[in-house]
């Protein structure tokens, strides 16, 4: 399956600051895929690329959803992808399309890990009909995940009412989804990305209330309220089935400008988690491909400076 590519040119001059950044942090990323592949196999970390990292290319049409696995393998040397539901929302029940996704992934020996469901409806809505509709849509995504050989879907929690009201409604909806997921061996994951879920205390209360081995967290390093990020991550890691690395901007040396990745990675390694690190680049200063590569480099450098468990070496 050929990769769809488009070259985008501009007549505008590059601002001096952007030019200097490109020459310093970006120049190292011009290595060939074979060089990057060697780099990625020479450290203890395993990565996955979230489809959102390439959302501009997908929206512009220079990359097609069915070519994602090929692109991630060829450009990053990474053998795992995570999907965004918005990229094939109208195809979730299309058996032929899902088979095409499976063929594309198998052809390039890429694992399909999970589907991030962002348009599934409000699972904590006050209106019971809205909740029922949301549960039905998420069930369809669970079925799609099973067809694709994923291990999980990631939900985005929305609702209204007080904290306790949303806790009760969310627990009821997610318990139903977790039971359905259990029958299909698909985990339901939730991340700390908005509203009440940014509170580790509230999120842990939800996890305990649902009390299912098929419901867990997918923590990121960024979105915490009321606590220091490292403390928030420590609270969520016992329930983690994945770890999400969000990056937005880099300085002239190619380091993230917000957050302490090394300290947060230390928290991950100190836990029992031994899975992959999912990369989700959402910045604009670096192009999308360089953003993913820089994130890999930052994580690799951080891993070299901290105590990596023996089983990862």
Q: How far is CA 55 from CA 84, 118, 280, in A?
A: 9, 14, 10
With a pLDDT cut of 70, the percent of the chain lying above it is 84
pLDDT of residue 44: 59
Interatomic CA distance for residues 172 and 208, integer angstroms: 12
DSSP states of 36-75: HHHHHTSSS--EEEEGGGGHHHHHHTSS-GGGHHHHHHHH
**pTM of the shown model:** 0.85
How far is it, in rounded angstroms, from Cα 31 to Cα 36?
7
Q: Is the pLDDT of residue 25 over 80?
A: no
Return the CATH superfamily for domain 32-312.
Divalent-metal-dependent TIM barrel enzymes (3.20.20.150)
Instruction: Give the tens place of pLDDT for each residue, 73-106.
Output: 999 999 999 999 999 999 999 999 999 999 999 9
Would you give the DSSP letter of residue 25? I
Sort residue 61 into left (φ over 0), alpha (ψ -120 to 50) or beta.
Answer: left
> What are the CA-CA distances from residue 168 to residues 171, 172, 210, 239, 288 (Å)?
5, 6, 10, 19, 39
pLDDT at 291 over 50: yes
pLDDT at 11: 27
The Cα–Cα gap between 33 and 35 comes to 5
At 252 the pLDDT is: 80
Predicted confidence (pLDDT) at residue 308 exceeds the cutoff of 80: no
pLDDT tier at 250, thresholds 50, 70, 90: confident
What's the whole-number mean pLDDT along residues 287-306? 90
Q: Give the model's confidence band at 247: pLDDT under 50 very low, under 70 low, under 90 confident, else very high.
A: very high
Q: What one-character DSSP code corresponds to residue 199?
A: -
């Amino acid at each position: 399956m050929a990769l769809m590519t488009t070259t985008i040119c501009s007549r505008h001059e590059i601002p001096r600051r952007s030019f200097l950044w490109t020459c310093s942090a970006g120049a190292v990323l011009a290595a060939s895929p074979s060089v990057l592949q060697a780099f990625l196999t020479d450290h203890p970390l395993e990565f996955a690329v979230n489809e959102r990292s390439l959302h501009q290319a997908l929206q512009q049409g220079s990359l097609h959803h069915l070519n994602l696995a090929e692109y991630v393998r060829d450009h990053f040397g990474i053998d795992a992808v995570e999907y965004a539901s918005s990229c094939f929302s109208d195809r979730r029940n299309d058996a032929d399309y899902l088979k095409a996704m499976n063929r594309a992934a198998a052809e390039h020996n890429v694992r399909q890990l999970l589907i991030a469901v962002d348009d599934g409806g409000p699972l904590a809505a006050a209106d019971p009909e809205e909740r029922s509709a949301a549960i039905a849509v998420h069930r369809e995504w669970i079925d799609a995940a099973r067809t694709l050989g994923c291990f999980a879907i990631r939900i985005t929690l929305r609702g209204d009412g007080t904290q306790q009201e949303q806790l009760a409604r969310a627990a009821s909806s997610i318990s139903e989804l977790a039971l359905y997921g259990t029958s299909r061996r698909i985990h339901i994951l939730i991340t700390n990305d908005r509203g009440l879920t940014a509170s580790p205390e509230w999120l842990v209360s939800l996890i305990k209330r649902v009390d299912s081995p098929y419901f867990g967290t997918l923590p990121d390093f960024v979105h915490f309220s009321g606590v220091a990020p490292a403390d928030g991550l420590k609270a969520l890691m016992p329930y983690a089935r994945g770890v999400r690395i969000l990056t937005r901007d880099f300085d002239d040396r190619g380091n993230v400008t917000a957050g302490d990745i090394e300290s947060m990675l230390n928290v991950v390694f100190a836990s029992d988690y031994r899975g992959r690190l999912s990369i989700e680049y959402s910045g604009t200063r670096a192009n999308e491909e360089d953003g993913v590569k820089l994130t890999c480099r930052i994580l690799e450098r951080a891993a070299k400076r901290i105590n990596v468990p023996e089983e990862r070496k």
